[in-house]
Structure 1
């Protein structure tokens, strides 16, 4: 048994999720109890710095170098915050599992490039500040055996959600949408997972552009708008949507540059609320198109991540998949917010015990491997 804190800072930049958990067992015998959860806010200055290094136009080596260490301190504060909230002594944390902040993900390289990924948030700083062992940088080992380094959570989802009688699909809607498909009675090698396309990313960018707000709370703006079919058709024609799996995507495909180009082309013809409604429809429809071959009336689609709190988005997904039992994480006894942070602790626990936790059938890797790098505290 161990106590661990998982920390996750995703593509949506809505804060650092920190989950304090009690974890028992390894492999498929792993059980996890959530002790406490918090989202540690990212200050405006940090968000600005992250966005600068995410853009090829404003990024630089010195900015990434400095931000790597600065985020180490931010992540350390998130660990301390969740322990303080739980009234749990920091010194009793056995390890910290840090996903890091993805700066660039390049599973399909261009000319003169190699497949690669980069997550920052210096683990040495976290170890020193929390006085704990840190497991971090989970994606790169999968890519070393020719995987795409993503999706990263299918192992934890198989452990926690598999069912003997029903097919279960775990659809996370963060900045990007990703799905894990666990057939009824599945073994690990039967699990599939891939990114379905955008999650909240485009919606968030539109809200920021039109209303200077970080996101569309409960889908309020989308509810006031109407879907523009011409714009929707153009969005659905994005080549990623029909690309066969395994596949992963990110801000490189659906980030600020993509959204800015849409606004430039359609902004004089589409109202802000119609734009947001159309982007919401796009997210829902891209999910439905990508998972339709895996679902029937004996399937559960369990939605997690920030998008699960967008009532309009969830309703559209239900309409797109009327024969599927659509639920959100809370309806099956888990936290949507804490899901990915908890997943990091499961991966790290495997690493500490010298056990693999990638899913080759999901990432395309040649073989199972032990993920992550360990930074010891002494």
Structure 2
């Protein structure tokens, strides 16, 4: 009998909301319908502004929460119509929402996602599971990354790494004889996207075309890699509230030498590669394969450069294993909803650093 869940994910890249309907009765979930929905321009601009502004008012945050909740509900209704499914056929929606701030290392640790779950539940008539990250933080964890638990469910017993290159890149390291590890390696697409948007008013560097015009500047690369985040031990997580255009401008200011926009773009691409590859090679060099997912998997220049850096380890898209590279994160939150409703833990303490495995999120009916 089908076990249909709907997963909604809005990541740090702000390139859209990924929505997927999938049947979780088989071990590998079977997508029934999926689509990436654009975030309206004004809402996207507001999200970007608030996520890099620590002085935003409670009123702005509250209004964004409601606005994004309505967007998520409209997306869910549209996806159901496209799949010719009724609300009664869906067990639950797993909604990540959109992260405005992620501060798990503060004295009063928190992670703030918006996308009002009450609005989503009432407009769709479907049970909603949301607000996942604070549950893990409450037991001493980083509140991320959570997709690692889903990766572990899919590929447990194998010897591989899964690298999700979204706005922020995160890595899952699954090994036959050791606990699964996971961490945010650093910026994925977010700095490349922000830079090309500031220079050419383009949302992203299609296939690395802009980066292909420049050369890596070794001194700037060293400057970027000096950030304290890259010397921190795992488990660790980060977000756009740290790695953003303001951070990059500060790095360029410290560097001091005038560089061409293309040279900066190329160096940012190499920065992403280095922050993915270096810890992965430090932790394990005997992997059978490295699977890539997320929006970065479509950037051919990035994929080729990453494969060259990790050679001889084989690098390929997770598509080859029957899981759509664009839908892994949305599937993960649909799976987390399933785990929560089944009263099963959804975090991996070896990944998040939590004191214990715990059931994640709240249930909205």
Q: What TM-score, normalized to structure 1?
A: 0.92
Query: What is the rounded CA distance, in whole Å, between the counterparts of 1:253 and 1:263 in structure 2?
Result: 16
Superimposed CA distance per residue, residues 332-376 of structure 1 (whole angstroms, 9 cap, x where no aligned partner): 221111110000011110100111110000011111100010001
Q: Does 1:204 align with 2:196?
A: no
Query: What is the rounded CA distance, in whole Å, between the counterparts of 2:201 and 2:249 in structure 1?
Result: 15
Secondary structure of the corresponding residue to residue 191 of structure 1: strand
- Gaps of at least 5 residues in structure 2 are none
Task: Decide which of 334, 356, 364 is 2:353's aligned counterpart.
Answer: 364
What residue number does 1:319 align with?
Answer: 308
What residue number does 1:158 align with?
Answer: 152
What residue number does 2:172 align with?
Answer: 180
What residue number does 1:124 align with?
Answer: 118
Q: What TM-score, normalized to structure 2?
A: 0.96
Taking structure 1 as reference, are residues 318 and 265 closer, same or farther at Cα in structure 2, changes over 3 Å only? same
Secondary structure of the corresponding residue to residue 355 of structure 2: coil
Instruction: Count matched residues.
Output: 364
Query: Does the CA contact (< 8 Å) of 1:12 and 1:200 recur in 2?
Result: yes
Taking structure 1 as reference, are residues 265 and 237 closer, same or farther at Cα in structure 2, changes over 3 Å only? closer
What residue number does 1:24 align with?
Answer: 25
Query: What is the rounded CA distance, in whole Å, between the counterparts of 2:254 and 2:349 in structure 1?
Result: 40
Query: Does the CA contact (< 8 Å) of 1:102 and 1:119 recur in 2?
Result: yes
- Gaps of at least 5 residues in structure 1 are none
Query: Does the CA contact (< 8 Å) of 1:17 and 1:78 recur in 2?
Result: no
Moved more, 173-182 or 327-336: 327-336
Q: Offset at 1:239? A: 1.3
Query: What is the rounded CA distance, in whole Å, between the counterparts of 1:104 and 1:318 in structure 2?
Result: 32
The residue correspondences of 1:212-291 to structure 2 (distance < 5 A) are 212-264=201-253, 269-291=258-280
Superimposed CA distance per residue, residues 240-295 of structure 1 (whole angstroms, 9 cap, x where no aligned partner): 11211011111132112212323555687211111110000000011111111233
Taking structure 1 as reference, are residues 57 and 358 closer, same or farther at Cα in structure 2, changes over 3 Å only? closer
Query: Does the CA contact (< 8 Å) of 1:296 and 1:323 recur in 2?
Result: no
Cα RMSD after superposing both structures: 1.6
Q: Offset at 1:227? A: 0.5
What residue number does 1:72 align with?
Answer: 69
What residue number does 1:54 align with?
Answer: 51
Secondary structure of the corresponding residue to residue 241 of structure 2: helix
Secondary structure of the corresponding residue to residue 85 of structure 1: helix
Q: Offset at 1:185? A: 5.7
Structure 1 residue ranges, 4+ long, deviating more than 3 angstroms after superposition: 262-268
Q: Does 1:8 align with 2:5?
A: no
Moved more, 249-258 or 14-23: 249-258
Secondary structure of the corresponding residue to residue 242 of structure 2: helix
Task: Decide which of 326, 329, 343 is 2:332's aligned counterpart.
Answer: 343
Query: What is the rounded CA distance, in whole Å, between the counterparts of 1:90 and 1:45 in structure 2?
Result: 29
Query: What is the rounded CA distance, in whole Å, between the counterparts of 2:182 and 2:267 in structure 1?
Result: 26
Superimposed CA distance per residue, residues 191-219 of structure 1 (whole angstroms, 9 cap, x where no aligned partner): 11011111001000101111101111111
Query: What is the rounded CA distance, in whole Å, between the counterparts of 1:115 and 1:57 in structure 2?
Result: 15
Query: What is the rounded CA distance, in whole Å, between the counterparts of 1:44 and 1:239 in structure 2?
Result: 34
